[in-house]
Chains A and B, each alone.
Chain A
Amino acid sequence: MIQLVWLIPAIMFLAAAVNGLGVRRLGAMAGHIAWASMALCTLISFAILFEVRSAVAADPGWVAPTIVLWSWFDIPNPFGSNTPFTIDFAFRVDQLTAVFLCFVSFIGTLVFIYATGYMKEKHGGHVHLDPGYARFFCYVSLFAAMMFTLVLGANLVVMFIGWEGVGLCSYLLIGYFFDKPFSKDLSCADAGRKAFVVNRIGDAGLIVGMGLLFWGLGTFDFEGINQALTSGERADGSAIPAGFLLGGGLITAATLAMFLGATGKSAQIPLFVWLPDAMAGPTPVSALIHAATMVTAGVYMVARLNVAYFMAPDTMVVIAIVGAATAFVAAYAGLTQRGIKKALAYSTVSQLGFMFLALGVGSMAAGIFHVFTHAFFKGCLFLCAGAVIHALHHEEDMFKMGGLRRKMPKVHIAYLFATLAIIGFPLTSGFFSKDEILFSAWLAERGGPHPAFPYLTILAVATAILTAFYMGRTLFLTFWGESRVDPHAEEHLHDAPSSMAGPVLVLGVLALVIGFLNVPGAFGGGAHFHKFLAPVVDRGAEHAALLQNADFVVDHAAGQALYGPLVYSGEDPRSAKAYYGQARILAAVSVGLALLAFAFSFVLYGKGIAPLAETLQRRLRPLWEISFRAWAWDDVYNSLFKNGTMRASEGALAADRGIVDGLVNGSGVFCDRMGSLLRRLQNGQVQTYGLVMIIGVTIFLAYFLVGLGSALESDGAPALEPPTAAAASAMDVALTETSGATASETR
């Protein structure tokens, strides 16, 4: 089955093509094609996952096979190295990829089914499909194909195709309602553009990083990169530049540049500003692309290149700090949002920050596990939000909701489950994944040589508390208390249809229980998820440990890959077990504080909006403003970059119109005039044509005569001299009986 893995993206490309070509004719069929294709992909993905599992079980040293579809480039190396510049269009399925395939396709299927219900409206018994119904399913199918390509790619270039492909689909889907306004100064099309432009900045970094890696290591292939970095030699046996050794400047620059790409795609500081506006897209898109899958591509990329990142400890510190800071900043912004999707969007940014914190402190598997659980609970939250918005005819303001749990009990239950998961209620999925991250950060801090580290766990715990508060707030504002719904809309209020409620409930239940896949050692579990991924994502940790201290052993059983600080400090690397006690205390403290915050949100919003909430808002006006306007990040960017750029653009436009257009049009006019002149020569008269030919011949002949003459003058080349006198006299002797013809020939 692994050899047939290309079927997965191929099926989705096909689905996208069918929907795209039949965009005007398919009708409701489009949705069925999309979700059925996705379901088929899910089956294949799970088959592959089990195949990988059994292969690993049979042989712990199993090497993931590379499936070369075709050789894409095979040209001499542009950098002059001996290794040829070969790029295969190749896929590789290892543990990490198999996990991504499964959850992307599974959640994708649920979201597609949900979307078949979401993308139509009922009016007086008639069902109206959204006008762009097939277009929507074309885009999302294409997105799925690209996402699969991203995680399947065996080298950076194929991954980059997927990376850009999902970016394109994201742009198309954010701007799906391109003719509608989104907020007071953005239309949906603008929001799409914003996402696109911001992501370009990040992608520029990614390209620079790719180029640097290739220049230094001579390959784009992930396995080749790992080999080169761990062995210190390129495939052709030459040594890699010193800057690519542990802690070197070049590897740090390359990984930092690629991390810039990740901050764009995964919405981290400084490039997170596009994600809240990405909510302009239809809600299933927000759930699938802007919560569960695409935005985690940055996390995937870092985990995929974990060996390279571990070689650059400074980059890791940056990642950890950026992750923790983003988590806190976004969670704080989430406290006061009015729009339910906006609040969830900031929550997503915040959770992504958690994932990067995990990566930055070296616990790649913890980051991926949080990607995994987050996909379920955040996907569920968005789908619930979508169901509410759908039922309320596109009302997103939570202050105009309330009491919906009576009208929409199924959606409420799912939302409640997912909320419990995201705030880390004990034994839910979020509890396990968030706890692992906190523990990793805590461990990093213990050995932390870096002055920033001690604050990271504090930030992370604070974020967890904020998360509990704002998630409780969304839950209570939307589903609890008294109804603040517009009475006119309330008449039509109904629970979600089964096509929507089904996926929502499935995700909600899974969000509760899926954490048991990876119960860490501190709570008596086996950390199966982590151990499954470890051969892929902990390679960097092991290698870095090896370089620093040969005795160091990564303790997978503990559910933690001990990173950096312990390793780099050269401190005695003990087993993580020694820290189990601390881990338990940490979990108890963070969960306890979070539950307190959750309870506080109930006090404020559980029975309608309590007067205390308004008092607090008035008293803490400045703090409230900072939160509501999301730290004025957009305004800062606008005044720093956008306005300046716009003014510069206007200047450039004026210059362009005046000077460049003048030149361009002028050259066009010039060409046109010349053409007309030439046309006048083409007068249909054979005599004229003959004359031109004669002129041409004359010029040719004159050219050679003059050319030869000047050559004679300049150097008197012997070859150009006529036969010498000596030769001529010799000829007279020899040619006493030559015929006339021969004689003339000799001259």
Chain B
Amino acid sequence: MNETIAAYVPAISAYQVAPFAILSGAIVVLLILDALLKPEGRERILAGFTGVVLVATGLFFGFDILGGEGVPYFEGALKADQFGNLGALIICAGAFAYLVLAPQLVRSRRLPAGELYALLLFTVLGLTMLSVANELITAFICIEIVSLSLYVMVGIDRRSRKAGEAAFKYFILGAFASAFLVLGIAFTFGATGTTQLVSQPTPVEAIEPGTPAFNLGVADVLANGERLVPVVLAEGITPGSAAAPANLVMHGDAAYLVEPVNPLWVYLGFALLFVGMCFKLSFAPFHMWAPDVYEGAATITTMYIATASKVGVFAFLVHIIQAMSNWSEFPLLGAPLLGAVAILSMVWGNLAALVQTNIKRLLAYSSIAHGGYMLVGVSTLVTPRVLGDVDATAFVRDSLLFYLFAYTVTNVVAFGIVAHLGSKGEGDMQAYRGLGARKPLLAAAMTVAMISLIGLGIPGTIGFWGKWFIFKEAVSSGLIMIAVTAMVTSGISAYYYLRLVVLMYMRDPSSEAIVEKGEVVLPGFASRAVIGVATACVVIYGVFPGLFLAIGGRLPG
């Protein structure tokens, strides 16, 4: 018996948890350093330290050290696959961009640098672990780490009433959403008897012949359509005896009843889980917090919420959907819901963006709409064509990954520029009047970002390929209605993105007030480098999407 148990203990390589250990340790060190160092130069040292940690963490994911085969480990809590790995890499890159842009914010608003960077590392810890999570409780804890840190990051500027309000709203509604998430996890556990998504493989020698595998994941339970209910046998009842129920099975000394899963509980669990995810990803109709929070938070924090934080949650959403899609019933009711939320997000996000006058709110709605486009990709995952087809599934996942990457770099450009403009106008779009003449390079980069956000229609930017791959898979999987909605709303989005371009190039700054509003804080060298590199990515990947291979991704299709 002891030998059997020993065989269960999975061999964990220290590398496989190293990035999380590094991050946890670094947070402690960072906070201690913050307390010990003298004020002068402290901020620089802390930023440098954080940067090194981020790079080190990113290397683990970039070089696929966790093992990209998608085999669960660490008692089934984690499962690193290519999608999660690259998602984590994008998160690290996003955090790094935040870090480079942050010092200016820290100085101008006199923020506590140590705390801010520690919070940043907390979010990175949560997000990267979330993107490789395989277990619902682990994921919940990750999400909470991230959420709590983000609430504080939003409200860290105590002098700003807007920021305080935003943080408060975010917190209240976030807590509300977390409740649904927990409920969803509970229902799922009730329905399937497990919180793991995919089972950790059991060593072959540990399985007695004729017994079902012991540690099943949600995916396996749903695939079999049966779950195991542990029972204690009454005296005298043994498997095979006349009194024993037909569905009694033994695993070692433990007895189980094999029961069909109840679809209602599975669906309720999924619905509530999905609600929680929808909130974090700001899918309509759970997106209401986003515009207020995006507007209230410091611009670069908004960038971080809109990009990196979404990548992690989105990666986990994909893991959940993939586990669920093992269930033959899921496409019946689950897939239409995904499609409906996608359509609602695209329509709502784009229509509401039309009437915005504040660039940060505009980008908030834009991010809601882009969430919808990503959901189109997720819906494609559960279409009959893709289900069960390993290659097609890989293609769709690759296209999603490409989209996440595209969306992140593009928003780094857009928010990076917004952060340096109109510090007094706080994102007032009028501040962009005549920017093309005043700051030609910034305006050009912004134009590139806007074109990339429009995506379809104007090739040559990364956003084009992002949408191209997603829509192509959707159309060939028969999601015509959804694809048409996506394209029509993309067309609508051109209006508000290009309006900014029109303001920059075809309008003169009409009054002194606007000139003052549109005062440009010239980005420092590091900030310029970040914006420049991101812009270059947008264009270069736009012309040569095949370069995605270079960062470890595969090209869909």
Q: Is the CB of A674 within 8 A of B351?
A: yes
**B-side contacts of A676, CB under 8 Å:** 355
Q: Is the CB of A734 within 8 A of B267?
A: no
**A-side contacts of B492, CB under 8 Å:** 671
Q: Is the CB of B180 within 8 A of A697?
A: yes
Q: Is the CB of B495 within 8 A of A704?
A: no
Q: Is the CB of B288 within 8 A of A682?
A: yes
**B-side contacts of A615, CB under 8 Å:** none
A703 to chain B, nearest CB (A): 6
Question: A730 contacts the other chain (Cβ, under 8 Å)?
Answer: yes
Question: A689 contacts the other chain (Cβ, under 8 Å)?
Answer: yes
Q: Is the CB of A734 within 8 A of B248?
A: yes
Contact of B351 among A678, A705, A711 (CB under 8 A): A678
A285 to chain B, nearest CB (A): 30
Q: Is the CB of B264 within 8 A of A704?
A: yes
- Majority-rule SS of A interface residues: helix
In the complex, what distance in Å separates the CA atom of A20 from the CA atom of B261? Answer: 70
| Mask of A659-695 contacts with B, CB within 8 angstroms, 1/0 | 0000000001001101110110110101011101101
B224-232, B403-411, B428-436 - interface stretch? B224-232
Q: Is the CB of B177 within 8 A of A731?
A: no
Known: A700-B275, A704-B333, A730-B246. A719 touches B260 (CB 8 A): yes
Question: A623 contacts the other chain (Cβ, under 8 Å)?
Answer: no
Contact of A735 among B231, B261, B268 (CB under 8 A): B231
Known: A686-B173, A708-B333, A742-B232. A693 touches B279 (CB 8 A): yes
B79-87, B121-129, B201-209, B237-245 - interface stretch? B237-245
In the complex, what distance in Å separates the CA atom of A634 from the CA atom of B493? Answer: 45
B193 — nearest CB in chain A belongs to which residue?
A745
Q: Is the CB of B244 within 8 A of A734?
A: yes
Q: Is the CB of A679 within 8 A of B257?
A: no
Question: A722 contacts the other chain (Cβ, under 8 Å)?
Answer: yes
A272 to chain B, nearest CB (A): 35
Question: A723 contacts the other chain (Cβ, under 8 Å)?
Answer: yes
A701 — nearest CB in chain B belongs to which residue?
B271
| Mask of B65-106 contacts with A, CB within 8 angstroms, 1/0 | 000000000000000000000000000000000000000000
Contact of B333 among A672, A679, A703 (CB under 8 A): A703
| Mask of B320-357 contacts with A, CB within 8 angstroms, 1/0 | 00000000010011000100000000001001111100
A24 to chain B, nearest CB (A): 14
**A-side contacts of B286, CB under 8 Å:** 692-693, 696
Q: Is the CB of B337 within 8 A of A693?
A: no
**B-side contacts of A746, CB under 8 Å:** 229, 231, 257, 259
Q: Is the CB of A703 within 8 A of B232?
A: no
A510 to chain B, nearest CB (A): 43
Q: Is the CB of A697 within 8 A of B263?
A: no
**B-side contacts of A723, CB under 8 Å:** 259-260
B400 to chain A, nearest CB (A): 21
B237 — nearest CB in chain A belongs to which residue?
A734
Question: B172 contacts the other chain (Cβ, under 8 Å)?
Answer: yes
| Mask of B263-284 contacts with A, CB within 8 angstroms, 1/0 | 1100110011011001100000
Contact of A678 among B229, B248, B259, B348 (CB under 8 A): B348
Known: A723-B259, A731-B245. A690 touches B173 (CB 8 A): yes
Question: B289 contacts the other chain (Cβ, under 8 Å)?
Answer: yes
Question: B455 contacts the other chain (Cβ, under 8 Å)?
Answer: no
In the complex, what distance in Å separates the CA atom of A684 from the CA atom of B337? Answer: 28
In the complex, what distance in Å separates the CA atom of A319 from the CA atom of B265? Answer: 77
B114 to chain A, nearest CB (A): 31
Q: Is the CB of B257 within 8 A of A731?
A: yes
A744 — nearest CB in chain B belongs to which residue?
B190
**A-side contacts of B348, CB under 8 Å:** 678
**B-side contacts of A727, CB under 8 Å:** 245, 247, 259
Known: A682-B291, A708-B333, A746-B257. A675 touches B247 (CB 8 A): no
Categorize the interface residue count of chain B.
35 or more
Instruction: Count A interface residues, CB 8 Å.
Output: 46
In the complex, what distance in Å separates the CA atom of A703 from the CA atom of B351? Answer: 25
Known: A696-B285, A742-B232, A746-B229. A689 touches B263 (CB 8 A): no
In the complex, what distance in Å separates the CA atom of A707 from the CA atom of B225? Answer: 19
Contact of B275 among A688, A697, A733, A738 (CB under 8 A): A697
Question: A639 contacts the other chain (Cβ, under 8 Å)?
Answer: no
Q: Is the CB of B173 within 8 A of A701?
A: no
B190 — nearest CB in chain A belongs to which residue?
A745
A71 — nearest CB in chain B belongs to which residue?
B546
**A-side contacts of B528, CB under 8 Å:** none
In the complex, what distance in Å separates the CA atom of A512 from the CA atom of B511? Answer: 69
Q: Is the CB of A686 within 8 A of B232?
A: no
**B-side contacts of A693, CB under 8 Å:** 173, 176-177, 275, 279, 285-286, 288
**A-side contacts of B495, CB under 8 Å:** 668, 671
Question: B292 contacts the other chain (Cβ, under 8 Å)?
Answer: yes
A705 — nearest CB in chain B belongs to which residue?
B264
Known: A692-B288, A719-B225. A700 touches B337 (CB 8 A): yes
Identify the interface centre among A711, A722, A731: most chain B CB within 10 Å of its CB: A731
Question: B234 contacts the other chain (Cβ, under 8 Å)?
Answer: yes
| Mask of B368-397 contacts with A, CB within 8 angstroms, 1/0 | 000000000000000000000000000000
In the complex, what distance in Å separates the CA atom of A736 from the CA atom of B235? Answer: 9
Known: A678-B352, A682-B291, A742-B232. A704 touches B173 (CB 8 A): no
Q: Is the CB of A738 within 8 A of B352?
A: no
| Mask of A712-747 contacts with B, CB within 8 angstroms, 1/0 | 000000111011000100110111111100100110
**A-side contacts of B267, CB under 8 Å:** 704, 707-708
B327 — nearest CB in chain A belongs to which residue?
A719
**A-side contacts of B233, CB under 8 Å:** 734, 737
**A-side contacts of B4, CB under 8 Å:** none
In the complex, what distance in Å separates the CA atom of A722 from the CA atom of B260? Answer: 9
Q: Is the CB of A686 within 8 A of B285?
A: no
A741 to chain B, nearest CB (A): 10
A384 to chain B, nearest CB (A): 45
A677 — nearest CB in chain B belongs to which residue?
B351
A733 to chain B, nearest CB (A): 5
Question: B262 contacts the other chain (Cβ, under 8 Å)?
Answer: yes
Question: B42 contacts the other chain (Cβ, under 8 Å)?
Answer: no
B242 — nearest CB in chain A belongs to which residue?
A733
**A-side contacts of B507, CB under 8 Å:** none
In the complex, what distance in Å separates the CA atom of A703 from the CA atom of B173? Answer: 23
Contact of A736 among B168, B173, B234, B351 (CB under 8 A): B234
A174 to chain B, nearest CB (A): 28
Contact of B173 among A668, A684, A689, A722 (CB under 8 A): A689
Q: Is the CB of B351 within 8 A of A689?
A: no
Question: B169 contacts the other chain (Cβ, under 8 Å)?
Answer: yes
Q: Is the CB of B355 within 8 A of A672?
A: yes
A711 — nearest CB in chain B belongs to which residue?
B332
A721 to chain B, nearest CB (A): 8
B494 to chain A, nearest CB (A): 11
Q: Is the CB of A682 within 8 A of B352?
A: yes
Known: A671-B351, A672-B354. A686 touches B172 (CB 8 A): yes
Q: Is the CB of A730 within 8 A of B247?
A: yes
Q: Is the CB of A737 within 8 A of B232?
A: yes
In the complex, what distance in Å separates the CA atom of A668 from the CA atom of B494? Answer: 12
A687 — nearest CB in chain B belongs to which residue?
B172
| Mask of A57-91 contacts with B, CB within 8 angstroms, 1/0 | 00000000000000000000000000000000000
**B-side contacts of A681, CB under 8 Å:** 288
A688 — nearest CB in chain B belongs to which residue?
B288
Contact of A730 among B169, B245, B351, B355 (CB under 8 A): B245
Q: Is the CB of B259 within 8 A of A742?
A: no
A732 to chain B, nearest CB (A): 9
Can you list 13 contacts pairing A with B, beta carbon distance less than 8 Å?
A676-B355, A690-B176, A696-B275, A696-B285, A696-B286, A700-B271, A700-B272, A707-B332, A718-B260, A734-B233, A734-B234, A735-B232, A742-B229
A-to-B contact residues, CB < 8 Å = 668, 671-672, 674-676, 678-679, 681-682, 684, 686, 688-690, 692-693, 695-697, 700-701, 703-705, 707-708, 711, 718-720, 722-723, 727, 730-731, 733-739, 742, 745-746
Closest 3 CB pairs of A and B: A730-B245, A736-B234, A689-B288
